[in-house]
């Protein structure tokens, strides 16, 4: 990973979350509950109206990584 790979980190994370929600047919509220984060916080992040701290991102990543680990050839952030 290089510094340039972080340029669109927020948008990449929003996309990964949206992809996850769509593929799992899961609501934002359900993901928030699974990750133990406030649903409003997650809604606002997805809409681009606020950021998330690293602790919150890690909680979401822990839930989502269980999904992405099962996807053959899926690379959530397009990082090699």
Domains of the chain listed by start with CATH number: 8-66 (1.10.260.40)
pLDDT digit string (tens) for 18-77? Answer: 999 999 999 999 999 999 999 999 999 999 999 999 999 999 999 998 755 555 444 545
The helix/strand/coil state of 43 is helix
Residue 1 has pLDDT above 80, yes or no: no
From first CA to last CA, the distance across the chain in angstroms is: 7
The helix/strand/coil state of 28 is helix
Burial of 1 (0-12, 13-18, 19+ CB in 10 A): exposed
Q: What is the pTM of this model?
A: 0.77
Task: Tell me what pLDDT residue 20 has.
Answer: 94
């Amino acid at each position: 990973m290089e510094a340039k790979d972080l340029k669109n980190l927020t948008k990449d994370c929003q996309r990964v979350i949206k992809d996850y929600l769509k593929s799992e047919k899961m609501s934002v509220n359900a993901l928030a509950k699974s990750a133990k984060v406030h649903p409003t916080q997650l809604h606002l992040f997805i809409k681009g109206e606020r950021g998330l701290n690293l602790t919150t991102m890690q909680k979401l990543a822990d839930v989502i990584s269980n999904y992405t680990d099962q996807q053959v050839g899926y690379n959530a952030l397009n990082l090699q």
